[in-house]
Amino acid sequence: MANFQQEIEKHQADTMDREVFGTRLGFVLAAVGSAVGLGNMWRFSYTAAEGGGAAFVFLYIVLTLLIGIPIMLAEMAAGRAGRLSPIGALKKAGGPAWAPMGFVYVSAGLLILSYYSVIAGWVVRYSFQAITGGFPADAGAYFGEISAGPTAALFHLGFMVVTILIVTKGVEKGIERASSIMMPALFVILVGLAIWASTLDGAGEGYAYYLTPSWSDILDGPTFASAAAQAFFSLSLGMGAMLTFASYLSKDENLNREAAVISLADFGVAFIAGLVVFPIVFALGLQNDVSESTVGALFIALPGAFASMPAGRIVGSLFFLALLVGAVTSAISLLEVVVASVIDEFGWERKKAALAAGSLIAVLGLASAWDTDILGLIDAIAGELLLMIGGLGMAILVGYVWKDARTELERGATPLFRALLPIVFFFLRFVAPPIVIFVIYDRLLNVLNVIQTSF
C-alpha cells in the first residue's frame, strides 16, 4: 500500500517536472517552425493554383482570421492549462468522453507525418540534385522517376531518422534549438528569392494572377473548403500540435500575442513563397503544369524553371534548402504530438517513445513512398478531413464544454485582448462550427472523389 502511494507521488512529481521551453522566443520559433513548412510552399502553391489564385488567397486570409486564430487560441489554452499532450489535455478540459478525440489527433499526426516525410524526402533529393549537377531538362519525367519506389522510400527513411534524432533530444535542446537556427535562415533565403523572382519577365502576370481575385471563384464551394483546409494545415491546427507545444509553456505567457505572431509569420511565409512561385510559373508559361499535376506541381514546375534561368542552379539550391528547413521543423512538431502522448499515457521515457513512434510512422510512410496516389489519398483524409474534424471538436470543447476556458485565456492577456475575448468565444461558438461542418462535408466528398479518380 505504501509502495503504491509512493508510486502515485512519484508519477505526480514526474508530471510536475514537465519539460519547458527555455525562452518565450524559443516557444514562438518552435511554433512558427511547426506552422511554416512544406504546407506553405508545396501545398499552398498548388492548392492556390487549383482554386483560381487570388480568390483562394483572399479566402485563405479571411478564414485564418475567422476560424484559424480562434482555434489556435483554443488549442493553446487547453494545452497550457492541462500541461499534457492531446489525450490527457482534452480529458482534463472536457472529461473522459473527450479521450477519443485525443486519439483522432494522435492518429492524424501519425498519418500526416507518414506522407509529409516522403515529400520531405523528395526535397532532400532535389537539394542534392540542385547542388551537384542541376536538373535534367525533362522535370516531369524526372519527378515520375524519383517520386515513388525504392529511392523515394530510402530518402523518406533518412528524413525520419533526422526527425527522430531531434525529437529524442527533447524540447529545449532539440526542438527549440533547431527552430531558433533554422527559422531565421529560411526567412532570409525566401526574401532573397522573392527579390530575384521580381526581376523575371513574366513577374507582372504572375502577380496579377496571384493577387487579383475574381468573385465567381470566391463563391465556389470547393475553393472555399480547400482554402479552409489549407489554413488549418498551414497553421498546424486540428491535431494538437499547438496544444502540445503550449503544454511546455510557463503559466503566464501571453497567448493572444503568441497566436498573432505565429499566424502572421505563417501567412507571411506562404505569401512570400507565392511571390516566388507565381512569377516563375508565368515567366515560363507553366500555369497548367501547376494546377493540373497536384502533388507534384512544385517539383515539376520549378526545377524546369531553375534549369533554364540564369543563376538557376544557385537559386534552385537555395529554394530547396529553404523548403527542407521548413520541412524539418514541421516534422518535429508532428512527431512530438505522438511522442508526448506516448510519454504521458504510458510513462515511457522520451528516447524509447521517439524511437517507437518514429519507426511506426516510417513504416506507414512506405505506402506513400510507393505510390503518389496513396500519398494524395492520405493527405485528403488526414491532412484535410481529420484536421477539420479535430478543429470542430476543439471549437465545441472550448466554446461550450470547458468551464475554465475563459479564465485560462485571460491569464497573461493584455487588457485589450480581454475586452476582445467575447468575440473570440462568439467565433468559436457560432462561426467556426457551421463553417467547419460545411468544410467537413465538402472534404468528405473530395476524399470519395480522390478514391474514384485515382484507384
> Which residues form the interface with ligand TRP (CB under 6 A)?
34-35, 37-40, 112, 233-234, 236, 239, 241, 330, 333-334, 387
Pick the closer one to ligand TRP by CB: 117 or 287: 117
C-alpha cell at 290: 501547376
Nearer to ligand TRP, 229 or 284 (CB): 229
Q: Nearer to ligand TRP by C-beta: 39 or 433?
A: 39
CB of 299 to ligand TRP, least distance (A): 15
Least Å distance, CB 16 to ligand TRP, is 27
The smaller minimum CB distance to ligand TRP, of residues 235 and 396, is found at 235
Q: Closest approach of Cβ 334 to ligand TRP, in Å?
A: 5
Shortest reach from residue 186's CB to ligand TRP, in Å? 12
| Shortest distance, position 155 Cβ to ligand TRP, whole Å | 18
Query: Which residue intervals of 36-134 are DSSP H helices?
Result: 38, 44-50, 54-63, 69-82, 86-94, 99-132
The torsion of the CA quartet 292, 294, 299, 303, rounded to 10 degrees, works out to 20
Phi-psi region of 53 (alpha: psi -120 to 50; beta: other; left: phi over 0): left
Asked whether the beta carbons of 172 and 179 are under 8 A apart, the reply is: no
Q: How far is the CB of 118 from ligand TRP (least distance, A)?
A: 13
In three-state secondary structure terms, 18 is: coil
Nearer to ligand TRP, 34 or 180 (CB): 34
Instruction: State whether residue 4 is helix, strand or coil.
Output: helix
Radius of gyration of the chain (CA): 21
Longest CA–CA separation in the chain, Å: 78
Give CA–CA dist 362/175, Å, rounded: 20
Position of minimal CB gap to ligand TRP: 39
Smallest distance from ligand TRP to CB 38, Å? 4
Q: What grid cell was written down for 126? A: 532535389
Name residue, grid cell 501519425. Answer: 110
Angle 42-45-51 from CA coordinates, rounded to 5°: 135
For residue 127, which of 80, 175, 189 has the smallest C-alpha distance?
A: 189
Alpha helix segments (H runs only) across 219-349: 221-234, 241-246, 255-283, 287-292, 297-307, 312-346
- The nearer residue to ligand TRP, 281 or 387, going by C-beta atoms, is 387
| Residue with smaller CB distance to ligand TRP, 333 or 372 | 333
Closest by CA position to 117, among listed 430, 344, 365, 395: 365
Angle at 262 between CA 331 and CA 302, to 5 degrees: 55
* Between 245 and 306, CB nearer to ligand TRP: 245
Which of residues 34 and 317 has its CB atom nearest to ligand TRP in the complex?
34
How many angstroms separate the CA atoms of 32 and 8, rounded?
36
Residue number, 112 or 305, with CB nearest to ligand TRP: 112
DSSP classification of residue 302: H
Minimum CB separation from ligand TRP for residue 437, in Å? 19
Supply the minimum distance, in Å, between the C-beta of residue 29 and ligand TRP: 14
DSSP code for 238? S
Among 231, 167, 130, smallest CA distance to 362 is for 167
Minimum distance from CB of 259 to ligand TRP (Å)?
14
